[in-house]
Amino acid sequence: YVVQNLDEALRAIKLLHKTQKGKANFFLLDAFKEHQPQMKMLPGMRQATDFIQTDDIYRPLVAHLLANVLITETEDPSVTVDDDITLLSKSGTFIRRTYSVSGGSVGLFEGKKIGRKKNLEILEKAIRKAEAESNSLNKHYQELKARLGVLKEGAREMQLHQLNKAINELNQQRISLQTRLDNYVEQHSEAEEKARQLRQSIAQMTAEDREIEQNLIREHQALEELKESIREADSSYRQIADELSSASAAYNESHIHYIRQQNKVQTLENELAFLRQQRQELQGRNQQDTQAIQESSEEETQLLQRIENLKEALKKAYDQKQEREAKLSDAEQNYFHARGKINEIEEALRKKSKKQQDSQILINNLKDKLNELRYQLSTISERLHIEFGMRLEDIKDIELPEGLSLEELQLKVDRLRNRLENYGEINPLAVEAYDEMKERYDNISAQRDDILQAKEDLLETIREIEETATEQFMDAFEKVRIYFQDVFRSLFTEDDTCDLVLLDPENPLESKIEIIAKPKGKRPQTISQLSGGEKTLTATALLFALYLLKPAPFCIFDEVDAPLDDANIEKFNKIIKKFSKDSQFIIVTHNKQTMAAVDTIYGVYMHEQGVSGVAPVDFRNYDHQTLLESAGG
């Protein structure tokens, strides 16, 4: 330790001796004021003090400690050094002395306490700078919050713009549907005109068909006449046969023409049916378009109504926003007011505690004064007995008789005055003594009342504290109980049961807690009946339950996996891996399976007698993680 002078060192030594805290060495800064160390130099090297930054008051001490310590830029420890010279490489890889050399890698835990004050000053400057940056960021946050409000208003205007755009698109769709409807009406009229023309063509073809049928009838009649002529005149057989052939040919041509006309009629009828069907389809589409127009109109009306509703909702939202901002400001004021009240209550509680202590002291003083008053009262009682032959019990209940006249009272006063004169001189200080005693009695009574009131207030405060502590304890206990069951089942199986039970539920703050653990297939009456591994896993589950209630940044396990078998070690490693996302775990172990599961391993070894070293290995920097795990298993 570094102290200013010998007096401070002596006071520290006395303090260590008094408190039984061991021994310590002290550097006296006053002793180094006139000290001039003998510094030696070697070619190509620099003094270690050139690399040290410290306050001027500590410069002589640093020069004394590093008087013969030299720094070299080279990494060759074979340099010959003189006696009392220590040679240190700038990278810290080796230290060369006259008869020894040491070196190697720089451990993660190496370092001294020199320079911590300077680092603290640097950290204070960094903290002040961070606070300034924090204030700047808070100011920037408020600006962004204001801009966000402006952007929200702009977003609402943009929403209205989008709704207007949707209305315009619907109007365009309505105009397009109206145009399509007009086109359909025009096509319908054209189809009706074409159907009328087709009906006229059918009527004309029907007339031609009737004329052909009449011609065929006439031809049949002529044929019959010819056949009759054939029967009548066999002699003109050839001529009649030729006429018959020509008549048959004419009949066939007429029949072919008739069939063609029939086909044309059938074609026209099919086309007319197709046109009628197309007309029906156009009428159906017309109805659908009319219905779509009506729906578009209704949707347009609904959109307009929705816009009005949105405007009203937007207005209400603005009102609600203002109201909520007012409520928020009121809530903040209430919060700060409540916080102030809490601070006042805490301060009042501290004052009451102090007042209780003072009251206890006052009670003790009052007891002493009461004993003193009793002693004085006993003295007065003895005096009355000796001087007047009376006791306090004889005169304290005496009352004056009623109904006495003034003359009688005057006579009684005269007699008493004569008796007093006969008694001789009286004590003139008796009334003052009485007034003083009465005043002290009144003060003591008032103080007693204050003490009783303070006692009631303290008992009420203690009850409130016990109720709050009980509520918080029960809440924490239930959470730990649930966490304990979850972690226990993850370490064992889902069929295993465990629980935490209060032995005195009526008084939870003073109650003992029973730990119940029942692995599958076992019914132990107590924890001591479990095996060593089961006890370890149960304790680990309870530790992690407490950890989940209030997580810690660092957790240290010292050979927890020693009593566990391979299967339970794997479960233990899995749960450690699960919780290592939020906390850093430091495990002291000799188990290879646990070593293979960690991220970084630190091996402790002794390269010299009495000197330990640490060799770190970061498994995260290696690609063959699976190979390492298999080698560890």
Contacts of 432 (CB under 8 A, 6+ apart): none
Write down the domain spans for the chain.
2-104, 121-330, 409-549, 551-633
Q: How many CB atoms lie within 10 A of CB 151?
A: 12
Q: How confident is the model at residue 240 (pLDDT cuts 50, 70, 90)?
A: low
Domains 409-549 and 551-633 share a fold: yes
Q: Which of 50-59, 463-472, 521-530 has the lowest mean pLDDT?
A: 521-530
Average pLDDT, the chain: 77
> Is 304's pLDDT higher than 60?
yes
The answer to whether 320 touches 187, Cβ cutoff 8 Å, is: no
The answer to whether 542 touches 517, Cβ cutoff 8 Å, is: no
- Residue 391 vs residues 383, 399, 424, 436: alpha-carbon distances, Å: 9, 16, 21, 22
Does the domain formed by 2-104 have CATH 3.30.70?
Answer: yes
> Is 442's pLDDT higher than 70?
yes
The pLDDT tens digits of the residues spanning 245-270 come to 677 677 777 777 777 777 777 777 77
What CATH topology corresponds to 121-330?
Answer: Helix Hairpins (1.10.287)
The answer to whether 607 touches 613, Cβ cutoff 8 Å, is: yes
CATH homologous superfamily, domain 551-633 = P-loop containing nucleotide triphosphate hydrolases (3.40.50.300)
Among residues 481, 495, 486, the alpha carbon closest in space to that of 579 is found at 486
The pLDDT tens digits of the residues spanning 584-631 come to 888 898 888 888 888 888 888 887 787 888 888 887 776 555 554 554
Q: How is domain 409-549 classified at the architecture level of CATH?
A: 3-Layer(aba) Sandwich (3.40)
Q: What is the pLDDT of residue 110?
A: 47
The pLDDT tens digits of the residues spanning 260-300 come to 777 777 777 777 877 778 778 877 777 877 787 777 777 77
Q: What is the pLDDT of residue 129?
A: 78
The pLDDT tens digits of the residues spanning 37-92 come to 776 777 778 777 777 777 878 888 888 887 788 888 777 777 777 777 787 887 77
Mean pLDDT of 425-436: 74
Alpha carbons 250 and 243: distance in angstroms, whole number: 10
Among residues 543, 592, 530, 598, the alpha carbon closest in space to that of 566 is found at 592
Full-model pTM: 0.31
Residue 162 CB-half CA count within 13 A: 7
- Residue 322 vs residues 309, 311, 313, 316, 332: alpha-carbon distances, Å: 20, 16, 14, 10, 15
What count of residues does the chain have?
633
